Amino acid sequence: MRIACLILALIAMHPAAAQQLTVSIRPARPFGYFVGDLIQARVDVTGPENAALSHASLPKPGPLTGSLDLREARLRETVENGARLWRLDLTYQNFYVALDAREIEIPGFDLAFSTAAGAEVAKVPAWRVGVSPLREITPQKQEEAVDYMRSDGSTPFVDEALPRHLAIGAGVAALLVFALVARDRAWPPFQRRRARIFSALANDISNRLHGSDDRELDAAIQSAHRALDTAYGATLLSSDLADFLRRRPEFRPLQIDFERFFAASKRRFFSGGEASDDFHREQLAQFVTALAKQERSG
């Protein structure tokens, strides 16, 4: 019975408590500040849900004392459990040059509210934090004046020779790779290198000879003739093969393949027949691939 009466009394007191303005201060830490440090604190004010804060009463950033400034004041307002919460995050800066460990006072301020009962004021009380000196007041007596200065710490030795050599080696390798690419692509100053005629032809023919259409084979053979004419600088006939191989000795190992190609081409285009079985589509592709390989080695 007594417990029930106590619960009813607490329930009856809750609305009244919710109507009061309460203030709590929570500093980030209560001590350990030096000159120039930022001091941060959070002020929570709770009150009735219908209360309104007068923003004109909020603390304004600027000097508070000769050695303390208010740098920033940020306000957040929420409603929790039927009560309104005003959360004020304050940032101060300490300029007090302490000679020993002591406490300094952070000034309080008043916040004005309007409630159903009228205007009310919530007093945020002053609070204190501990500050520390940067040096001792009277150091121990030393024989020499230089003994009052702490010696410089030793710095580790860093050998820069290896990173420098690695960087130079990487640069040389990059230039060498770039030169090889420039030569392969005939970029300046390698633009006078012979064009890779048969390499381009090999790519083109490999895409043409997938089907079984004889017209594709005819076009592939004609493309091979045009490439040979370009490499020779004139129309290359079977009778000119010896002169071609003299001018382009890198193709001399393929003399038998050249003779087979010209014989098959002559039978196909001038005898009304098809290419012989010893020179079909795969043989043509292999011949052009061999030409491209010899071209790259030349």
- Mapping DSSP onto H, E and C, the string for the chain reads CHHHHHHHHHHHHHHHHHCCCEEEEEECCCCCECCCCEEEEEEEEEEECCCEECHHHCCCCEEEECCEEEEEEEEEEEEECCEEEEEEEEEEEECCCCCCCEEEEECCEEEEEEECCEEEEEEECCEEEEECCCCCCCCCCCCCHHHHCCCCCCCCCCCCHHHHHHHHHHHHHHHHHHHHHHHHHCCCCCCCCCCCHHHHHHHHHHHHCCCCCHHHHHHHHHHHHHHHHHHHCCCCCHHHHHHHHHHCHHHHHHHHHHHHHHHHHHHHHHCCCCCCCCCCHHHHHHHHHHHHHHHHHC
Lowest mean pLDDT among 13-22, 51-60, 107-116, 129-138: 13-22
State residue 272 phi and psi, 5-degree precision. Answer: 75, 10
pTM of the predicted protein model: 0.44
pLDDT confidence tier of residue 276, bands split at 50, 70 and 90: very low
Q: Is it the case that residue 16 has pLDDT exceeding 80?
A: no
Q: Which one-letter amino acid corresponds to residue 285?
A: A
Class in CATH terms, 21-131: mainly beta
Neighbours of 253 (CB within 10 A): 12
Q: Give tens-digit pLDDT for 200-235.
A: 788 777 776 665 667 777 888 888 888 888 888 888
Residue 156's pLDDT band (cuts 50, 70, 90): confident
Peptide bond into 253 cis (omega under 30): no
Least-confidence region, from 97-111, 126-140, 188-202, 245-259: 188-202
Query: What is the model's pLDDT at position 279?
Result: 58
Q: Where are the domains of the chain?
A: 21-131, 197-297
Task: Supply 43's token pair.
Answer: 């002020």
